[in-house]
A and B are shown apart, each in its own frame.
Chain A
Amino acid sequence: MDTKYLLGNLAIAHACREAGVDFVSGYPGTPSSEVIESLRTVSDEIPHLEWSVNEKVAFENALAAAWCGCRALVTMKHVGVNVAADPLMTSSYTGVTGGFVLLAADDPFAHSSQNEQDSRIYAGFAKIPCIDPQGIQEAHDGMVKAFDLSEEFGLPVMVRPTTRICHSKGDINLGEPATGHRSGNFTKNPRQYVVIPAHTRILHKQLNEKQPGIKKRLIEEGFNTQVIRGKKAVIAGGISAAYAREVIPDDVSIATIGAYPIDEEWLKAFVSQHTEILVIEELMPVIESAVLEVACGQTIYGKKNGYLPYEGEFSPSLIAGALKKASFITGELYPAVTPAENLPIRPPILCAGCMHRSTFYAMKKVFKDGIFPSDIGCYTLGLQLGAVDTTICMGASITVASGISLCGEERDVVCTIGDSTFLHTGVNGLINAVYNGADMVVVILDNRITAMTGHQPNPNTGKTACGVSSPPLSLESLCRSCGVSFVETVDPYDLTLLLETMKKAKAEKGVRVIIARQPCIIVAKREGLKRRPFMVETNTCTGCQLCVKYGCPAIEFHDEKASINDLCSGCAVCADICPAGAIRREVKR
């Protein structure tokens, strides 16, 4: 056994190697991405590993591998499960032969997400086991066991860490990676794999019959624990159990829930020995509902009576507040604090030299009165530039744009979508928009990579997750084959041409596509790009601040004059914006 200081997601990835995973797929999404990013570094020891184009595709690929007897892992963030929900809901009917684990990383507080949905609900909905670890060691150990459980019950198993597990670190005990792998071997069995009504009715009954055994096994495996210490008790799930352990008084009992479904008899035995119980879990009241079902006269404190919130992430101080409210403790465990007020905010911002900034700039200049649906990616930060009017989920910029254009709204509709998001679910919307006669402009922000989640390759990159060259995908041909006749590709650093192309598009009708193409500046720099930076000639600068309004982090303004700091990557766009001609490339430093 080896002890390492590891990121949660890296510990989870290591556990998959210990379990001898044979097939890995997923779509990047914070906070899940580092699991496959880590496995990519050892892709030579895993028979198949891929970044898929979306979560449904990833799920179905991995499911098929598990039908063939392989151990398969599929990873995604919580909202990715929505995309994969269609196969998920029936995969529990068909079951699996090889161990099949769905890693669904939840994001309470929506640190990097559009919502705070709780994947435990999905697991219950699909009737599959869900492991909900309270820390990194539990996530690691649970991941190894998840493959065994999946094979024992012939069911997919969900592992559901939250951001504070995926992106926290700790001293973790690791096992040895397994050696030897399985080769897929499909055994034909239509009664299992062809879910026509006659088959699926039987499969559903079989799925329901598996449930009691799963509940018992989760207790035997030690996922759910109880310690009796008094007449009052705390029941805590997931990472809330770790926070609760930090603040709970010695005379209060504690049950920790690390996996679902919860065995009702086990829970009732604990509940019945207490008079008052505080239930602590982030997001949905899953445990609380189970407790209320078995409670008989006990006072239950939780979300349903206002002791804890339904939203956001928990912390030791928040739990201390609930303990106090329920009179489990008296006095304050933590000091009251006052954060500094009126500080300039420092939100994340598009990089200096990011191709999205100039595209947004040109779009706003040409389509002054336009409506700008956008999508999920770095470019959602275009909100700060007034260039993002809607964002709801992956691929929805194009469909929201067509919906707006087809409902009678008369202003120009110009939507933006990244290359990876376009290939994820955007292209379906484009097909539909052309087919149904929408009048709109689609700007594909093509930086050749899935940037926001840490630069994962996609079919547009020309490389697979394992670094193997893949056939280059042509966005131009793809759009044309959807029936778009106006498809123009432009270098977004060429502001003049970019503006001209936008004007040309504005003059046309129907669905028009502009592909703005420049590599992500972070990737370009990593690959050795060096351009001389720009500077402001102070004497020529009139202090008009047009360059400042461009919003590049390399441009500053002091004493009525603009200046350029060392973040400048030399993209040259600000020099085109400056009406005084005061910005020019530095002569060799």
Chain B
Amino acid sequence: MKTGFDIMIVGIGGQGTILASNVLGEACLVEGRSVRGAETHGMAQRGGSVESQIRINCEFGPLIVPGTADLLIAFDLLEAVRYRHFLKEGGEMIVNNQLVLPTSTFTSGQAPPTENDIIGMLKGLKISIVDATAIATAAGSPLAANIALLGAASHSIPLGLESLLEGVRRCVPKKTIPINEKAFLDGRAAVNP
């Protein structure tokens, strides 16, 4: 049976979910832990809903069973709702307070859900909503939003702060390391554990 800590990272193709999961994978290597990850590649990346699964201290397959994830990191409010059933009872959710409406809502003439509708659908869960884009922009680049969100989630991740920062340094382009380190730490400071 499950022995480790399972994290779902969900968002929209192009938002940097894979890079965020790579940071966690590298941080596991720093600590000498076994790790598994599953990702969405290929055509689904074209603006589609994407998920990365990361299993820390795992020696089995890469898939997280719905209802068993310890932590869910969502880059978009709507995607947080789409994948909320992956969380175990009492699991935590860190959500970027961004809502990108799918083009399907406009072309189909469906009434698009509002931010408040969606936050209502997440009621009752252990959830922190973070403005990762604002934190990243203040740190130097909106492109670091994925790292800021990871920072906000870092209190709940069973990996050391220094290992996570080393993971960040290994994964982001060299010249953006200072911005991403700052985004991570500012994201971390934005959430009170």
Contact surface of A with B, Cβ cutoff 8 Å: 3-5, 7, 30-31, 34, 111-112, 135, 164, 167-171, 239, 242-243, 245-247, 315-317, 333-340, 343-351, 378, 381, 384, 452-454, 548-549, 551-553, 555-557
Given A335-B67, A349-B103, residue A168 in contact with residue B39 (CB < 8 A): yes
- Chain B residues, CB < 8 A from A34: 41
Q: What distance in Å separates the Cβ of B138 from its nearest Cβ neighbour in chain A?
A: 19
Q: What distance in Å separates the Cβ of B62 from its nearest Cβ neighbour in chain A?
A: 4
- Chain A residues, CB < 8 A from B29: 3-5, 171
Chain B residue at minimal CB-CB distance from A165: B62
Chain A residue at minimal CB-CB distance from B22: A5
Q: Does B189 contact A (CB under 8 A)?
A: no
Given A5-B26, A344-B78, A344-B101, residue A168 in contact with residue B106 (CB < 8 A): no
Q: Is the CB of A242 within 8 A of B43?
A: no
- Chain B residues, CB < 8 A from A384: 107
Q: Is the CB of B106 within 8 A of A169?
A: no
- Chain A residues, CB < 8 A from B110: 344
Q: Is the CB of A243 within 8 A of B68?
A: no
Q: Is the CB of B46 within 8 A of A346?
A: no
> How many residues in B have their beta carbons less than 8 Å from beta carbons of A?
55
Which chain B residues (121-170) contact chain A, with CB distance < 8 Å? 121
Q: What distance in Å separates the Cβ of B47 from its nearest Cβ neighbour in chain A?
A: 5
Distance between Cα atoms of A4 and B22 in the complex (Å): 11
Q: Is the CB of A111 within 8 A of B107?
A: no
Q: Is the CB of B63 within 8 A of A452?
A: no
Given A246-B1, A316-B61, residue A556 in contact with residue B36 (CB < 8 A): no
Q: What distance in Å separates the Cβ of A118 from its nearest Cβ neighbour in chain B?
A: 19
Q: Is the CB of B63 within 8 A of A164?
A: yes
Q: Is the CB of A5 within 8 A of B35?
A: yes
- Chain A residues, CB < 8 A from B104: 344-347
Contact surface of B with A, Cβ cutoff 8 Å: 1-2, 12-13, 21-22, 25-26, 28-29, 33-49, 60-63, 65-68, 78-79, 81-82, 84-86, 88-89, 101-107, 110, 112-113, 121
Given A247-B1, A316-B63, A340-B121, residue A348 in contact with residue B68 (CB < 8 A): no
Given A169-B36, A343-B82, A345-B102, residue A112 in contact with residue B43 (CB < 8 A): yes
Q: Is the CB of A343 within 8 A of B63?
A: no
Distance between Cα atoms of A111 and B89 in the complex (Å): 29
| Pairs across A and B, CB under 8 Å, 6 listed | A7-B39, A111-B40, A315-B61, A316-B63, A334-B68, A345-B104
- Chain A residues, CB < 8 A from B103: 349, 551-553, 555
Q: Is the CB of B85 within 8 A of A164?
A: no
Q: Is the CB of A340 within 8 A of B63?
A: no
Distance between Cα atoms of A454 and B42 in the complex (Å): 7
- Chain B residues, CB < 8 A from A556: 101, 106
Distance between Cα atoms of A31 and B41 in the complex (Å): 8
Q: What distance in Å separates the Cβ of B14 from its nearest Cβ neighbour in chain A?
A: 9
* Cross-interface CB contact of B107 among A164, A351, A453, A548, cutoff 8 Å: A548
Q: Is the CB of A548 within 8 A of B106?
A: yes
- Chain B residues, CB < 8 A from A7: 39
Distance between Cα atoms of A112 and B46 in the complex (Å): 12
- Chain A residues, CB < 8 A from B46: 348-351, 378, 381
Distance between Cα atoms of A30 and B67 in the complex (Å): 29
Q: What distance in Å separates the Cβ of B82 from its nearest Cβ neighbour in chain A?
A: 6
Distance between Cα atoms of A423 and B103 in the complex (Å): 32
- Chain B residues, CB < 8 A from A557: 106
Chain A residue at minimal CB-CB distance from B82: A343
Q: Is the CB of A351 within 8 A of B106?
A: no
Distance between Cα atoms of A4 and B26 in the complex (Å): 8
Q: Is the CB of A5 within 8 A of B36?
A: no
Q: Is the CB of A344 within 8 A of B113?
A: yes
The interface centre, meaning the residue of B26, B46, B61, B63 with most chain A CB atoms within 10 A of its CB, is B61
Distance between Cα atoms of A192 and B85 in the complex (Å): 59
Q: Is the CB of B35 within 8 A of A164?
A: no
Q: Is the CB of A315 within 8 A of B67?
A: no
Given A246-B1, A348-B46, residue A135 in contact with residue B61 (CB < 8 A): yes
Q: Is the CB of B62 within 8 A of A348?
A: no
- Chain B residues, CB < 8 A from A239: 61
